[in-house]
Amino acid sequence: MTEKGNSRASSKALRDLPAEGVSKAVSRRNFIKGVITSGVAVSSAGYLFRTSSLLHGQQLPAGLGERLITLNVNGQQRRVDAMKQETLASTLRYKLGLTGTKLGCDRAECGSCTVLIDDIPYYSCSVLTHTVRARKVVTIEGLASADGTLHPMQQGVIDEQGFQCAFCMPGFIMTTVGYLKTNPNPTRQQLAQGLSGNLCRCQDYDKILTAMMRGAENLRRAKLG
Ligand code: FES
Ligand code: FES
């Protein structure tokens, strides 16, 4: 029988069901709808907690207590609903709205998602959010000063116009900022080595390296005052 024939047969079967059968079929559908709705309610609860005290003092839905965690991101304590298997890149982008962290490969190859965790560059697509609870996370949004003054590394990019599409830029900047903490005055060759875990699809490596070297110089000058 064709698929169309099958579907006709099932409508007929549904029509022919006794009243009790129809009621069971409908309640099963309602049951499934209920599960989907409650799943959505649980996953969106993090936003409610972040923005209001609507559920304050009430019992949390089952399992949510373990998922509600506090992260230190860019110097702020951020309450977030994160699943156990959720990556830091996803949490930053889709729960905390920090979309400066880019997702390129999503499998630890391109470096677009690099953030600092306790001052060390990490691919945030390969770090589970729950593992960074007691640590300090810094994203590209956390580099500029509160008054809007750019970080010396960001200024270096502007000074040298170092990128084409700039999709990879936040990752390169965060990696360089982390690298310079251990080697503040690198040679061009050393910095190229330090950035070798970051890829640029526009293949603008020479200009990027020039911009990063300029940023490093800006940073040394800023530290001298
Ligand atoms: S998106 Fe994380 S390394 Fe590519
Ligand atoms: S400038 Fe386009 S991906 Fe790097």
pLDDT 10s digits, 21-72: 434 444 434 433 333 333 333 333 333 333 333 344 456 556 666 899 999 9
- Residue with token string 């001298």: 224
Among 60-69, 117-126, 148-157, 171-180, the range scoring the smallest mean pLDDT is 60-69
- The tokens describing 50, both together, are 């972040």
Compute CA distances 1 → 7, 16, 17, 136, 213, whole Å: 10, 20, 21, 62, 70
Calpha distance 37→30 (Å, rounded): 10
Q: Nearest bound ligand to CA 157?
A: 2
Residue range 69-117, pLDDT digits in tens: 999 999 999 999 999 999 999 999 999 999 999 999 999 999 999 999 9
Residue range 189-204, pLDDT digits in tens: 999 999 999 999 999 8
Rg of the Cα atoms in the chain: 25
Q: Which amino acid is at 203?
A: Q
Residue 166 CA: which ligand 2 atom is closest?
1
Query: Bigger pLDDT: 142 or 53?
Result: 142
Angle formed at CA 12 by CA 9 and CA 14, multiple of 5 degrees: 110
| Mean of per-residue pLDDT scores for the chain | 80
Does the beta carbon of 201 sit less than 6 angstroms from any atom of ligand 2? Answer: yes
Backbone φ, ψ for residue 205 (5° rounding): -60, -40
Backbone φ, ψ for residue 14 (5° rounding): -65, -40
pLDDT of residue 173 exceeding 70, the answer is yes
pLDDT at 62: 62
- The tokens describing 132, both together, are 């960074």
Strands ordered across the beta sheet of 68-73: 76-81, 68-73, 136-138, 114-117, 120-123
- The tokens describing 28, both together, are 């099963």
The length of the chain is 225
Sketch the domain layout of the chain as residue ranges: 3-56, 68-224
Q: Nearest bound ligand to CA 112?
A: 1
Residue range 3-25, pLDDT digits in tens: 343 333 333 333 333 444 434 44
Does the beta carbon of 202 sit less than 6 angstroms from any atom of ligand 2? Answer: yes
Q: Please indicate, yes or no, whether the overall pTM of this predicted structure exceeds 0.75.
A: no
Q: Which of 203, 220, 200, 70 is nearest to 136 (CA)?
A: 70
pLDDT of residue 179 exceeding 90, the answer is yes
CATH of 68-224, one of 3.90.228.20, 3.30.70.100, 3.40.50.720, 3.10.20.30: 3.10.20.30
pLDDT of residue 1 exceeding 80, the answer is no
